[in-house]
Structure 1
């Protein structure tokens, strides 16, 4: 089935092979997925075995959203003389290119077409610079024999503690969505990945079939923070993970198409079995007369890229993104998809754990805690495309510090669901009990996260059932065998008792939890001669 999966991803590129494209680009939304040649009963025809295994492990069902778009609809659009570039099953539509503007204006009248949106055109007015400049040279940054100049970005979050326990990302797969990976096929810090065949695939969504190693230095810099390894000079946060390198960002413009490209890239990451998405990209302003977003759109549900990120998480992947570099600008706030509820948005700080002035503030427009956590994004050590060690400023560089260490933590505890891992990451941060809108829940401590996750792993199912889990204001505990109970207690991830009740028999309903903060908790049941501990989640 592997060849069939790759055939599906190649199909839309084949549709435009040999066509010289000069038009504008649109997203054509379809009304449904009728006449589909794929079936939910045979997911191996459109998902890799690794993607299927990820979902099965996390009890995630296959739903119509997972089905590819109707090929009959895509073919019908093509027969109209419109070039089909990419299909998006999550958004149920296709990215197309056409110079027939009148045709595109009337396409919405076709029975199977729900909507047509212009998402790219040539424009004279450009948005502000996308990425902060990287400074050549490494100055007087503190270093260590093992990590070199990357020592402080590990030390500030205790990431090295994971590496000391031999968790360096083995058996975990990270998809990097960025603007290209210039020279990543020749730079010294990636030699070990090529040698071990841990760069699994590359894909250019912006320019199908193009060389991702010929453009985009930003993606290379981000990649080096995770996967880079130079003896005694640089050690990334996940040097033994495997990677998919996916170009979704267009260096030449800032138009809505990049959000759609992001979703296409995330769908590809899902289908080939990635565990983690690192996205050091953010969207708020657009070029020309495209309508830019307002702060009100950062509500976790409005922007295309945020909706895509939420869907990616729902498929069992863990999504990490940069919070944004708008803190010292008029915008000030986070950018999409940092506003997504289940995306781990990372703010930037310096080596002294002081907030970087450019780091975007929260909250989300609907007043959720954002950003989620912070990591070193000012003076972050990386390898640039010239092959030199350099320092970078931006939340673009704090996000990959976290993505790599999350891979290491998930490697240590592969039984954790992504929902549980997200709770652990928030609750292991230093300011969890008193979050703010600069660092969110604070600076994560991966040593603490490792210890917390270890506690979760020790829980025993026995004959006990807790439902619903996740719970809201109450839940019920029942048992098919051990009915005599002395006491039940609930603990937060810092070890504090948040609920306790003496009882004598099961089942019992635990009530009055309305004001309990959302998060992961441990439920301890004390029996006559033993105890049982469970993980339970408050939504």
Structure 2
């Protein structure tokens, strides 16, 4: 009997040991042959909203949109591996096996191009996760409307968009993070459940686990900056939007599998018809240093994560990402996927608009402006899992400030493409004409961005010439055909204040002088005459 028990214990220990030593790989397929889906029937693998987005912005369906071949997945299962998640954009699957010798066999299969290790069991975590959350606790404040969240919204003029009624209604935001502890019970999210604004929650790390487990605090804080609302106590940047909650990040370790989880989460967001992705995550260093990236990899095309982010953008979504908190570390640079050409990387400023010392530096390694913009990421008001409004630091918190307001900006004109929205936000930055490697294009003005969009849409330059642009001390307006009739010419700053005005009657050329003392930034010239109204976007050097 003792021998029998000893054998059973040995067997159980062996099974436990095998599980502990299971490894995870990404298996890449050579093609999508033998596919049960076809591009002629996209409704079988994309939501109606996702199809409408492609139609609206003339985005052609491609093989990228097709799910991976179920024939290939079934073949892998028969080899004895466990399939965790397929990825259509990367055309492969995350698999798990403790039989590492099997990988050699898999590598030789005709429809498999590569099997790459992306996770293995470690004795302990070496990379500090989410160093952007040194929180000082405050009790809830009853300050009017925004409570403690006023500064983070007001520094980028988001409150002015809100006053115009743009608070994210009709927009759909995916939050890719580490889980969303107590979001199902906390006061600031009650309105989301009452109004059916949370459309789903998927765990790509531990499928089927409780995504609202209180162990996950980072995603809760990030979501609150956008979605949180307690009347007269707290208000996020897009409280009326709908949200999709996606867990890609594993608190227990730092391995490349999290990049693959991220891409698969973004695929899911696309299929669901999401407009904006917020990702307060980033990668460059791993528990196993052999996986580490170098600064040269921050070129917008080399990392797994940025490839997924760029594909997400190509499908019509706006991708907003934290720039990183490496500013005071040896690395100091942005981290992926914030290096993407079409990813809006958000650095962090303090409430006084000075850049936070921890905010990562640009440019991308290929010389592009990064971060794109900066928003408040220091002493941000956030929801804690204990139902208190607290404070936190990090670009993880500047990113959702910008992402929520980007959704509100897009709400003002839903005919804009994601590229046009991104351009407007960059152009509204206070350093747009002279970007640098800390602020990027500067601190955006979301209300001004909406005004700029209006200027672009109403502009008619056929018979008018406005120069120089950018201007410094003078601005000239010439009517190329007939002279201007009785007209009023007004220069506004981005908040709508009049900075200069002229009346004319029958002149062909009008000059504004004495503009030297105007602050650098964006201005709008409005010309009203009998034949119409003209608006121009101008830059002051």
User: Structure 1 length as normaliser, TM-score?
Assistant: 0.83
Alpha carbons of structure 1 residues 490 and 213: separation in structure 2 relative to 1, 3 Å: farther
* Aligned counterpart, 2:413: 413
- What is the number of equivalent residue pairs in this alignment? 478
* Aligned counterpart, 1:68: 67
- Assess if the C-alpha contact under 8 Å between 2:127 and 2:253 holds in 1: no
In the TM superposition, what is the alpha-carbon distance from 1:100 to its structure 2 partner? 1.2
* Aligned counterpart, 2:152: 153
* Counterpart mapping for 1:243-258 below 5 A: 243-258=243-258
* Counterpart mapping for 1:132-531 below 5 A: 132-138=132-138, 144-214=143-213, 215-458=215-458, 486=463
Alpha carbons of structure 1 residues 33 and 191: separation in structure 2 relative to 1, 3 Å: same
- Assess if the C-alpha contact under 8 Å between 1:143 and 1:152 holds in 2: no
Alpha carbons of structure 1 residues 169 and 151: separation in structure 2 relative to 1, 3 Å: same
Q: SS in structure 2 opposite 1:95?
A: strand
Q: Distance in 2 between matches of 1:404 and 1:68?
A: 30
Q: SS in structure 2 opposite 1:378?
A: coil
In the TM superposition, what is the alpha-carbon distance from 1:22 to its structure 2 partner? 6.1
Q: Distance in 2 between matches of 1:358 and 1:344?
A: 18
CA deviation vs aligned residue, 1:290-313 (integer Å, no higher than 9, x gap)? 420011100000000011000000
Alpha carbons of structure 1 residues 250 and 502: separation in structure 2 relative to 1, 3 Å: same
* Aligned counterpart, 1:114: 113
In the TM superposition, what is the alpha-carbon distance from 1:21 to its structure 2 partner? 8.8
Q: SS in structure 2 opposite 1:254?
A: coil
- Assess if the C-alpha contact under 8 Å between 1:138 and 1:149 holds in 2: no
2:85 is aligned with 1:86:
yes
Q: Distance in 2 between matches of 1:48 and 1:212?
A: 23
- Assess if the C-alpha contact under 8 Å between 1:108 and 1:114 holds in 2: yes
CA deviation vs aligned residue, 1:255-297 (integer Å, no higher than 9, x gap)? 0000000000000000001100000001000012542001110
- Assess if the C-alpha contact under 8 Å between 1:234 and 1:382 holds in 2: no
Alpha carbons of structure 1 residues 94 and 384: separation in structure 2 relative to 1, 3 Å: same
Q: Distance in 2 between matches of 1:55 and 1:400?
A: 25
In the TM superposition, what is the alpha-carbon distance from 1:129 to its structure 2 partner? 1.2
- Any stretches of 5+ residues in structure 1 without a counterpart? 1-18, 461-476, 478-484, 505-519
* Aligned counterpart, 2:12: none
- Assess if the C-alpha contact under 8 Å between 1:24 and 1:118 holds in 2: yes
* Aligned counterpart, 1:12: none
Alpha carbons of structure 1 residues 290 and 414: separation in structure 2 relative to 1, 3 Å: same
* Aligned counterpart, 1:42: 41
Alpha carbons of structure 1 residues 45 and 321: separation in structure 2 relative to 1, 3 Å: same
Q: Distance in 2 between matches of 1:331 and 1:287?
A: 16
Q: SS in structure 2 opposite 1:331?
A: coil
In the TM superposition, what is the alpha-carbon distance from 1:446 to its structure 2 partner? 1.1
Q: SS in structure 2 opposite 1:96?
A: strand
In the TM superposition, what is the alpha-carbon distance from 1:459 to its structure 2 partner? 5.6
Q: Which has the larger radius of gyration?
A: 2
Alpha carbons of structure 1 residues 388 and 67: separation in structure 2 relative to 1, 3 Å: same
- Assess if the C-alpha contact under 8 Å between 2:138 and 2:388 holds in 1: no
In the TM superposition, what is the alpha-carbon distance from 1:150 to its structure 2 partner? 0.3
Two-structure CA RMSD over aligned residues (Å): 3.1
User: Structure 2 length as normaliser, TM-score?
Assistant: 0.83
- Higher mean C-alpha displacement, 286-295 vs 381-390: 286-295
